Amino acid sequence: MNYIKDPMAIEVRSFEIIKPYIEKLNLDEAQTKIYSRIIHASGDVDYAPL
């Protein structure tokens, strides 16, 4: 398995994974940034619909 070691690349990939969960919520730009950061920090996409 290949692991991403570059911190910026990890963050970019994380937000790519999170994006489909956030898009379903019809949030404005500020809310999208906040929700994305919460999910990224927690590693739990189940926070998306809260």
* Distance in angstroms (rounded) separating the CA atoms of residues 44 and 35: 11
Q: With bands split at pLDDT 50, 70 and 90, how would you rate the model's confidence at 30?
A: very high
Q: With bands split at pLDDT 50, 70 and 90, how would you rate the model's confidence at 48?
A: confident
Q: Are 38 and 22 in contact (CB under 8 A)?
A: no
Say how many domains are in the chain.
Answer: 1
Give residue 43's identity as a one-letter amino acid code.
G
Q: With bands split at pLDDT 50, 70 and 90, how would you rate the model's confidence at 10?
A: very high
2 domain residue, yes or no: no
4 domain residue, yes or no: no
Exposed / middle / buried, residue 39 (Cβ in 10 Å: 0-12, 13-18, 19+)? buried
29 domain residue, yes or no: yes
3 domain residue, yes or no: no
Q: Which domain holds residue 23?
A: 11-47
